[in-house]
Structure 1
Amino acid sequence: MRQQTKVRASVVVLASKAKKPSPIANDHFLSNIVYPLFSAFLGFPLVSGVPVRTTANLRALVKYEVNPPPGRSPKALYIIEQRVNTLIVGILITLSVFIGDVLQYIPVATLYGLFLYLGLFCLKGMQLIVFLRVVLTRRKYWGEWALLDGLPNRQVVVFTLIWLLELTVLLVLLIFSEFPVLLPVAACLPFVLLLAGILRRFAMPRWKWIAPYLERVIA
């Protein structure tokens, strides 16, 4: 959900550059009213309230400058933000339910390689990966990341450690879920996610040391 919120925020920022005939209000009507009704009554897997499902999909739809000036990141020229993308993905997901006999002929190693590639590709541009790179980079090279403009070094390290701690806890719980003896511990996963949301909403804004940078770093 947090990832989808980030994607939706990115699309809203680029809404004025969208190449489409219909106004953005129609998009909200389709994604928040029509598609959920299809999902509820027909079981069609169009449950997302955003035009694209991943940041990788978003980057594929955004067109950047081919030759940006030296020292400046490529500027987003326009975004091809369309519902056809979501519709095709939903149809393919639905068809995958009925062609299980065909999918079983795909080698497992091929699927592992595909999922590994998609996972690694989607890491590009994620804030955690950016902050990990920043921690290992001298501050004079931070200019390529607009997100870090005016952000002190110590706060960057603290945000990175918080994310790594949350990720470690989630990974440990997922590993525990593979062992029947530890299933009761793994059942705490939803509560850990709920606790993370509570800390983000109520506790972290009260921490005056990082509160001024919270909205900019953790949208």
Structure 2
Amino acid sequence: LCQLLQSDFWTVRLCVSLWTTFFIIILVAFEGSFMIRYVTRFTEEIFALIIAVVYLYEPFKKLYMIFHLNPVLSKYNYPLICSCNISSIFNKSSTIKNINSSFNSSSKYSCYDCESPKRYISSTPSLLRINYTTISNDETQLPNKALLSLIILLGTCFIALALKRFRRSNFFGRSTRQTLSDFGMTIALLCMVLFDMRMTKNAGGHSLTQKITVPDSIRPSDRERGNFWLISPLRKQLPFWVYFASSFPAILISVVLFFEVELTSIMIQSKLKCVHTTKPIKGTGYHLDILIAGVLISISGLFGLPWICAAPVRSIAHVASLSKYSKTHAPGEKPRLIDIKDQRLTNIGVHILIGCTIFAAPIIRKIPVAALFGIFLYFGIVSISGTQLFSRLKMMFIPTKYHPNVGYLRRIRQMKRYAYTFIQIAAAGLLITIKVTNFAFLFPFILVLLVPFRKWCLPFIFTERELNELDGDEQQDSIFDDEIDFYGQVHLPI
């Protein structure tokens, strides 16, 4: 869009950031955070379904691109000989027998860092033609990258899912199961990185998968900016109307930021209510969170840094790590949640460690992109599995006598459940369709319209009792289950 308008991207982005901060300040000044009370499970589950579809779609889209660039062949010619090894061999005075033995001991896959081996083929045609496959720089003669990427992607996802389910198994003690489950993604990623390194070693040091790209130094990615970080609104002169037109995308960003921050706060609030049932936990913190997020967007825009967003998984994980459970319960009973040590020190420590990852660039460069998309696939599976929408979809294919004893299944007629589920799926389908078309900029507006649709339109189709069962708040259990996976409780962008 900036190219069509012949406008500087960084200047326009800064204007959008400043407008976003302005709208957030206006929202906080009029205590707009109270509007989050109208966002019910109806909207949250639609949002969760959209996010799950995106997480499930992106890994397979990446796989399709990899298979398109590296088609699976019916025949491969192995082994290929690295031409740099040939060069070192022919520089020595040795007999044909010694050359043959040297080739057999140093056979590797193609090395693209060395010079072309064509001259060696012409100099010793009989030797290479009789005993060895013709040396080629054709990348299709390497072990198929697409199949290896598929193995790494699915392996990462399956290991993470298996360790997630391990939490409720009967092996080892509770602490061991929880630790393995909580660090399941890290363990899965580590296993696939080691597997990829082993395959790279077997391929003679030639990397067979795409790795995460990390710059060598901390500097602006745009070469035109050089080493100058600060971006001025007057960096490059824009048409006067662009300064005001940039307020339109800022409104959309403000809506998305509002949903992410406030819904994350609601999830934290629901966990804290298990302990503190008689007093408000967040209070004015709802306004403070969104205000700080809005101000940081302008700071990020001034330095050309990525815009921040809420971190639901890390927030829920932080609450879980600060939870204290009873140790005097009877055998077989679930521990009770006694207290949550709510403080700020651990948050600071977590973010300091996140900042220290800039020194881990050599390690990050060894992570295959396929493993990263395997984590995305895992997120897509677990982010939808714990919602009532997914449960209602699953119950459509299960006989009624096997349904669990929950209100929305026992007290709501089957056709009404189907109608409510169909409305949610249709709304999610509409939003996904808008997102993949040229009208993607309307996505936040349509998402906001779901709130008045739920409040004023659904009561004409469903009774108040039915809506309370289908769209009411989840009942808080006084016996807090400490074996619940907090990754499965988050149904928002991660």
TM range (shorter): 0.5 to 0.7
For 1:199, give the aligned amino acid.
Answer: F
Q: 1:53 and 2:312 equivalent?
A: yes
CA contact (8 A) 1:36 1:46 kept: no
Larger relative helix fraction: 1
Gaps of 5+ in 1: 18-22, 69-74, 177-182
Contact 1:173–1:186 (8 Å) recurs in 2: yes
Give the match's secondary structure for 1:28.
coil
The change in CA–CA distance for 1:158 and 1:96 in structure 2 (over 3 A counts) is farther
Is the contact made by 1:7 and 1:55 (CA closer than 8 Å) also made in structure 2? no
Per-residue deviation at 1:146?
4.8
| Cα 1:126/1:137, change in 2 over 3 Å | same
Mapping 1:187-206, distance limit 5 Å: 187-206=441-460
Q: Which residue of 2 aligns with 1:216?
A: 469
Residue equivalent to 2:117 = none
Contact 1:7 1:54 (8 Å CA) reproduced? no
1:197 CA drift (Å)? 1.3
Unpaired runs of at least 5, structure 2: 1-38, 45-262, 301-306, 473-494
Contact 1:56–1:121 (8 Å) recurs in 2: no
Deviations, residues 71-116 of structure 1 (Å, cap 9, x unaligned):
xxxx783276445698269717963896795655532111101121
In the other structure, the counterpart of 1:142 is 403
**How many pairs are equivalent?**
194
Paired residue for 2:433? 172
Equivalent position of 2:422 in the other structure: 161
Q: Deviations over 1:16-75 (max 9, x none)?
A: 59xxxxx965x4258436655654566699976xxx8259947x9388x9957xxxxxx7
> What is the CA RMSD across the aligned residues, in angstroms?
4.4
CA apart distance, 1:128? 1.1
- Contact 2:275/2:339 (<8 A) preserved: no
Q: Could you state the TM-score of these two structures normalised by the residue count of structure 2?
A: 0.32
Q: How many angstroms apart in 2 are the aligned matches of 1:122 and 1:193?
A: 19
1:1-219 to 2 correspondences below 5 Å: 3=44, 4=263, 7-8=267-268, 10-11=270-271, 14-15=274-275, 25=280, 27-28=281-282, 31-32=285-286, 35=289, 39=293, 53-54=312-313, 57=316, 61=320, 77-78=336-337, 81=340, 82=342, 87=347, 91=351, 95=355, 103=364, 106-176=367-437, 183=438, 185-207=439-461, 209-219=462-472
**Aligned partner of 2:397: which letter?**
L
Taking structure 1 as reference, are residues 104 and 30 closer, same or farther at Cα in structure 2, changes over 3 Å only? farther
Change (3 A) 1:108 1:171: same
SS at match of 2:312: coil
Whole-angstrom distance in 1 between the partners of 2:279 and 2:360? 37
CA contact (8 A) 1:147 1:216 kept: yes
Higher-Rg structure is 2
**TM-score of the pair, normalised by structure 1:** 0.63
Identity within the alignment, %? 19
> What is the SS of the residue equivalent to 2:337?
strand
Shift of 1:194: 2.1
Q: In 1, are the aligned partners of 2:268 and 2:316 still within 8 Å (CA)?
A: no
Are the structure 2 counterparts of residues 94 and 40 from structure 1 closer, same or farther at C-alpha, using a change threshold of 3 Å? farther
Q: Pick which of 76-85 and 107-116 moved more.
A: 76-85
Distance 1:86 1:200 in 2: 38
Give how far 1:125 is off.
1.6
Q: Distance in 2 between matches of 1:190 and 1:37?
A: 19
- Work out which structure has the larger RCO, using CA pairs closer than 8 Å and 6 or more positions apart in sequence: 2
1:127-157 CA distance string (max 9 Å, x none): 1111111111222222254543312111111
